[in-house]
């Protein structure tokens, strides 16, 4: 298990590039790549917490990424650490889950977790296993996180990707979902940019039905975005229900050590942006409206804003009318999308902290 980014004066003097330290570099690098390019330098400075050597290392890898493209198909610790050959995550996972799951390969990587394709040996089915990054697992604590996500396993709905299994072993914290042969909504939007109105409304209704069901069972998603919507035979499956909440409840203030922020700015409701108000089902409704806006307009409501300006825009600026983006969006649909945003802002202002 890796250690969090150092913050003591002794650490800053000279920190050898051990496998653990390379995993810290890799974590910050991956999170930085999820930021807008103009915001990466500021993010790296915050995440490195005064460790100049760490900052320089991450900055050099970001520069290499810009020159050579996305090399994060394997960890930076494996690809770039001269003379260091730590055990790969896939091998660690295969050892930890031997006899239960046969690990095939890594199929995805994000700021908080990696995803592996595996064979469930007991049930003879393909599954996707998400493994929390070492830094995140250390910050939240395996036992508390696994306790928090138990409620997610009870959700059963045709448009919610179910949770099959979870656990911790060999210093890894993981959870298991069905493997969906298809693509994410993000992939489709990247390819098509804007969806036909009927397709967008169908997907929105399916996501809304999933959210309403989860809310009745006391679960708020907190990170609704196109990356968390899988498309199977043209229908929506919302993934990672309750994971963001479990991470926050389990990790608390310790999450700041990882340099990872829960939530995605383009889809965050005003109360998430403010960071000082309770979050409830209306937070997901706002995010759903932002996703619908992107499906219809080709970009999220405040996509053009910088990360510094975006919080102010979310709180105060009106949404641009969809009718100005495309002629086939009716005035009633346009008004409904904008109403979601305006109601969320009023809701955020009226509630007491």
Residues serving a catalytic function are 223
Please count the residues of the chain: 353
Residue linked to tokens 């730590």: 86
The string of DSSP codes covering 148-197 is HTHHHHT---TTBPPP-EEEEETTEEEEEEEPPSSEEHHHHHHHHSS--H
120 in helix, strand or coil?
strand
249 in helix, strand or coil?
helix
309 in helix, strand or coil?
coil
| Two tokens, residue 22 | 């390379």
Give the dihedral sign, CA 12/13/18/22. positive
- Report how far residue 191's alpha carbon sits from residue 291's, in angstroms, rounded to the nearest whole number: 16
Q: For residue 172, with 0-12 CB atoms within 10 Å meaning exposed, 13-18 middle and 19 or more buried, which class applies?
A: buried
Q: For residue 217, with 0-12 CB atoms within 10 Å meaning exposed, 13-18 middle and 19 or more buried, which class applies?
A: middle
């Amino acid at each position: 298990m890796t250690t969090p980014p150092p913050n003591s004066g002794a650490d800053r003097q000279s920190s050898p590039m051990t496998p653990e330290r390379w995993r810290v570099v890799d974590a910050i690098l991956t999170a930085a790549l999820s930021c807008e390019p103009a915001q990466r330098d500021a993010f790296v400075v915050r995440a490195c917490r005064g460790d100049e050597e760490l900052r320089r290392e991450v900055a050099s890898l970001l520069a290499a990424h810009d020159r050579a493209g996305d090399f994060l198909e394997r960890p930076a610790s494996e690809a770039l650490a001269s003379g260091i050959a730590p055990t790969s995550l896939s091998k660690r996972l295969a050892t930890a889950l031997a006899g239960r799951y046969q690990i095939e390969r890594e199929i995805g990587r994000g700021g908080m977790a990696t995803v592996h394709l595996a064979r469930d040996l007991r049930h003879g089915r393909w599954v996707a296993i998400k493994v929390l990054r070492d830094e995140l697992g250390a910050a939240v604590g395996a036992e508390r996180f696994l306790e928090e996500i138990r409620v997610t396993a009870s959700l059963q709905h045709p448009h919610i990707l179910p949770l099959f299994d979870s656990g911790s072993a060999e210093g890894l914290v993981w959870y298991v979902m069905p493997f969906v042969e298809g693509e994410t909504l993000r992939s489709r939007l990247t390819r098509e940019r804007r969806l036909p109105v009927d397709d967008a409304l169908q997907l929105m209704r399916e996501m809304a039905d999933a959210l309403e069901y989860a809310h009745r069972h006391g679960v708020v998603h907190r990170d609704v975005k196109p990356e968390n919507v899988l498309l199977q035979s043209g229908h929506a499956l919302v993934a990672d229900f309750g994971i963001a909440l479990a991470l926050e409840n389990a990790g608390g203030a310790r999450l700041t050590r990882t340099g990872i922020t829960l939530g995605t700015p383009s889809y965050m409701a005003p109360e998430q942006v403010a960071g000082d108000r309770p979050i409830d089902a209306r937070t997901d409704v706002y995010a759903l409206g932002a996703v619908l806006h992107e499906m219809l307009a080709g970009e999220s409501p405040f996509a053009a804003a910088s990360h510094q300006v975006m919080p102010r825009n979310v709180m105060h600026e009106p949404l641009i009318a969809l009718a100005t983006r495309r002629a086939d969006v009716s005035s009633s649909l346009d008004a409904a999308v904008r109403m979601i945003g305006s109601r969320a802002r009023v809701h955020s202002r009226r509630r007491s902290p």
